[in-house]
Amino acid sequence: MDKAQVFDALREKLQQELNTAVGASRDAAEYATNEEARAESKYDTQGLEASYLAAGQATMANSLADAIATLGSVQEEMIVPRDRVMRGALFECDLGGFREWFYLSPVGGGETLDFDGEEISIVTAKSPLGAAVAGKTAGAAFKLANGTEGSVLKVL
């Protein structure tokens, strides 16, 4: 697997999510200020709810923009080969008899990428898995807080 392509796929996915969040925020803001959203009674909160939605979408967009900027600032570090699990490592684990690929990133935790027929889960160092495998090399065993045992199979 080519880590540079995995990195680019992560950045592209976050950019798509940013574009969606910006559009949703814009739509909600337009509706909140539209004549149709004007309250017809003191119990009509449609416009207020739309403004809350717009603010939430704007916050999400800001978070995604920050994540994309973070990736841009660490790009070189994220694509160099690794011999142990650390930021920028693409690694395969055996978790309870199932093989899974992961990419340790400073942002984007919880995202999944479909890449070359494999699913790659993005984890951060703050995640239970990221913390459990930090510093491990291929062949090392680990145990998650929920009791699941695993081992690192490959580190790229």
Please, what is the Cα angle at 101 between 100 and 102, to 5 degrees? 125
> What span, in angstroms and rounded, lies between the C-alpha atoms of 55 and 103?
31
Supply the DSSP symbol for 23.
H
Domain that holds residue 129: 78-155
Same domain, 100 and 57: no
Q: What is the pLDDT of residue 78?
A: 97
The region of weakest confidence among 1-5, 37-41, 115-119 is 37-41
Q: Residue ranges of the alpha helices (H) in 33-154?
A: 46-73, 75-79, 128-133
pLDDT (mean) for 132-136 = 97
Same domain, 70 and 87: no
Q: Which residues pair with 98 in a beta bridge?
A: 95
Q: At 139, which CATH number? A: 3.10.50.30
Q: What is the pLDDT of residue 22?
A: 92
Q: What is the pLDDT of residue 48?
A: 73
Of 16, 41, 75, at which residue does a domain stop?
75
Same domain, 70 and 100: no
Query: Is the model's pLDDT at 138 over the cut of 90?
Result: yes
pLDDT (mean) for 100-124 = 96
Same domain, 49 and 82: no
Q: What is the pLDDT of residue 26?
A: 83
* Greater model confidence, 66 or 116: 66
Q: What is the pLDDT of residue 44?
A: 63
Query: Is the model's pLDDT at 150 over the cut of 90?
Result: yes
Read off the pLDDT of residues 24-51 as tens digits, 9 standing for 90 and up: 888 877 766 777 656 677 666 777 777 7
Q: What is the pLDDT of residue 37?
A: 59
The region of weakest confidence among 3-7, 22-26, 71-75 is 22-26
Number of structural domains found in the chain: 2
